[in-house]
Structure 1
Amino acid sequence: MRTPTASRANARHLIEALPRPLPRDEEHRADAVQAALLTSGLLDSSDLGNSAAVAAAVRDGLTSLAHLLDEAPSGHGAGQLLVLLLAEREAFTPHPAPTEDQLQARGAANALLHLAMWHTDDDLPLIVSALQVHAEEARNSAGMP
């Protein structure tokens, strides 16, 4: 199990490794996101063809992004990530408006979910799992049972 600090580092590396803008072509976009997962250390090169491993890396990436969002207003990263994803999907702007860091985390999360479409049938269980792992890691790091 990772620590929130290690997860934040992974999230920063992931965001930095994602090309801006992402390729428009579906296949090239998926390749770019997978390459960013490799660069961030969330995916091992031996797992490139393994859908279960890529899905697990996407889950870990989402968990890491939630930990990263925990940094500013401490303890609300998972909720922020959900609101940012829903706002993107439903085309509304949350209040207060997202910061540049939050927008980068949202962009990375959307990119991860795009990659997940290539490796899973449904990304909702992946999101739920990522938020559960986030809660468990945050609880463990705080010394709570």
Structure 2
Amino acid sequence: MRTSPADSRAAARHLIEALSRPLPSNEAHRADAVQAALLTSGLLDSSNMGNSPGVAAAARDGLTSLAHLLDEDVPGHGAGQLLLLLLAERHTFTPHPAPDADQLRARDAATALLHLALWHTDDSLGLLGAALQGHAEETRSCAAARA
């Protein structure tokens, strides 16, 4: 999915809204809920439901979209902010300044996407890296088009 950052932000908002809270604790039900949210957001095409490469690509695009969404607060730093939020959750520390409610929802969505990715790829860290690289490329492309 190569699109504009504005379209990515809209998809990220739809993804966050579509994710049930709390997510089911049962692994299979959780994966189904996250796939349904990806489908609702438009990041996943119904023909890719259950198709591991397609679901992994949708998860990657979702992560890219979340980074674009976080760019709204601090332009150019959304990818770093997303990574910091994920690390803070993983290692149980609070970044400074403390994340607001919207940032926490973006983090929760990213965590859900990475959890789903474990079902569909052997390299979830590579998937996150590809998402952050996609964010950088889309940001540069948009900036070059404005110049």
Q: Does 1:94 align with 2:95?
A: yes
- Identity in percent: 73
Q: TM-score, normalised to structure 2's length?
A: 0.96
- State the alpha-carbon separation in 1 of the partners of residues 113 and 137 from structure 2: 21
Listed as ranges, the gaps of 5+ residues in structure 2 are none
Please give the per-residue CA displacement for 1:45-104, whole angstroms capped at 9, x wherever unaligned.
011121000000000000000000000111100000000000000111101100101000
For 2:75, the aligned partner's letter is: S
Aligned residue pairs total: 145
Matched with 1:74 is: 75
SS at match of 1:143: helix
Matched with 2:125 is: 124
Matched with 1:45 is: 46
- State the alpha-carbon separation in 2 of the partners of residues 22 and 49 from structure 1: 19
For 2:126, the aligned partner's letter is: P
- State the alpha-carbon separation in 2 of the partners of residues 47 and 8 from structure 1: 22
Matched with 2:64 is: 63
Q: TM-score, normalised to structure 1's length?
A: 0.98
Deviating 4+ runs (over 4 angstroms): none
Note the aligned Cα RMSD (angstroms): 1.1
SS at match of 1:82: helix
SS at match of 1:94: coil
- State the alpha-carbon separation in 2 of the partners of residues 44 and 97 from structure 1: 35
Listed as ranges, the gaps of 5+ residues in structure 1 are none
